[in-house]
Amino acid sequence: MNITFCVKGIATHPIGGHKVIYELANRLAQRGHIITLVVPSEDNLYQLPLLNSGGRVFLSKLLFKLGILPNWFKFDNKVNVKIVNGFEEKNFPNADYIVATAYETAKPVAKLPLFKGKKVYLIQDFENWEASDADVIDTYRLGMKNIAISKWLQLLVQKYDENKTLYLPNAINTDIFKITSPVEKRDPQTIGLLYHLGSHKGLKYSFQALNIVKSKFPNINVVMFGAPKKPTNLPNWYTYYRKVNSSSMPKIYNKCGIFLCGTINEGFGLTGAESMACGCALVSTNYKGVREYAINGSNSLLSPIKDYQSLANNIITLISDDKLRINIAKQGASDIENMDWDNTVNKFEKIIV
């Protein structure tokens, strides 16, 4: 089949939602489907406002050809990435299906004529950070085939969808994200953490929890990674890695005995699942997305949202009880193995037929 993905931009650093789209595109192309990603240049080079649209398209194409954009993900040669100056009809190839992949792409896709493809909407979160709740909900009513990547999202979208909202489980590339450092030999006082500027990630609660842990275990070391610049006044017991590529991410996870997530709300929570696949014992808030893969007391320890004391207590428990940490980490890695990409691609193919 000929399938087009309408994408906000080529991410300059690892972003969970983009990673899912790129991985899905690669694997569909490897199965013989004709895959095109249509990407607006202005989202790639928004920080260069003096360039006109033609200049942005030219520079985006050049950076993509040189492998600079993105430098953290390798597209299969069979995937056609089409960088354009906007979501006008002329910029989309004729296709069997066209997939909107974010709030910003939903209405442009819905307006396209049918010969550009039957309309599918891949929903990865309730994307109300740059739009009102009502505006986001309106995109669920556009008449496209709505697909949600988590069960809580499926239930939410179904309230506004005249048709049946479908569920497509997220997947982890366990060929990359896997245990390479034995869980038993890891330092339980080395704790992984994602740094993100979005308030929904709950970083302030993670930092508060870690300060409590530090008061009890002075030798803890936090291994933090993210796309933003290193935060100012970061304590010396934090190590920060900026804009890590896909090949380096598993190495960071494998350094850690515990991974901490203080998220308030998120569609799925890819880093938590990746850390589990790499043998970290996950300590997380019990936000809706994490329930897709985390089970409290079995493969993770979960706390109420915004409860930094509970997060701290769970970290302290795992540091104090190495047998429990090891059991949770091993169970987590085993459970994540079931989040198989072949299964997800099979379901996607069945959905669009």
What's residue 50's pLDDT? 47
Q: Which residue from 142, 94, 91, 87 is spatially nearest to 120, judged by alpha carbons?
A: 142
What's residue 85's pLDDT? 85
What's residue 55's pLDDT? 66
Do domains 2-171+340-352 and 183-336 share one topology? The answer is yes
DSSP E strands: which ranges in the chain? 2-6, 34-40, 80-84, 97-100, 118-123, 145-148, 166-167, 190-195, 221-226, 238-242, 258-261, 281-285, 300-303
CB contact set of 249 (below 8 Å; sequence gap of 6+): 14, 176, 177, 225, 274
Q: Which residue from 82, 142, 131, 83 is spatially nearest to 107, judged by alpha carbons?
A: 142
DSSP state of 296: B
Q: Which residue from 325, 341, 218, 333 is spatially nearest to 281, judged by alpha carbons?
A: 325
What is the CATH architecture assignment of 183-336? 3-Layer(aba) Sandwich (3.40)
Burial-class residue 286 by CB neighbours within 10 Å (0-12, 13-18, 19+).
middle
Segments making up each domain of the chain, as ranges = 2-171+340-352, 183-336
Please report, in tens digits, the pLDDT of each residue of the chain (353 residues total): 999 999 988 888 888 899 999 999 999 999 999 999 999 875 554 444 545 566 667 777 777 776 767 888 889 999 999 988 889 999 999 999 999 999 999 999 999 999 999 999 999 999 998 899 999 999 999 999 999 999 999 999 999 999 999 999 999 999 999 999 999 999 999 999 999 999 999 999 999 999 999 999 999 999 999 989 999 999 999 999 998 887 889 999 999 999 999 999 999 999 999 999 999 999 999 999 999 999 999 999 999 999 999 999 999 999 999 999 999 999 999 999 999 999 999 999 999 87
CB contact set of 254 (below 8 Å; sequence gap of 6+): 179, 180, 181, 278, 279
Residue 288 has phi, psi (to 5 degrees) of -60, -45
pTM over 0.85, yes/no: yes
According to DSSP H, which parts of 222-321 are helical? 249-253, 270-277, 308-320
Q: What is the token pair recorded at 150?
A: 């988590």
Q: Which residue from 174, 175, 171, 145 is spatially nearest to 158, judged by alpha carbons?
A: 145
What's residue 61's pLDDT? 76
Q: What is the token pair recorded at 222?
A: 């936090």
Euclidean distance between CA atoms 59 and 325, whole angstroms: 48
CATH 3.40.50.2300 fits 2-171+340-352, yes or no: no
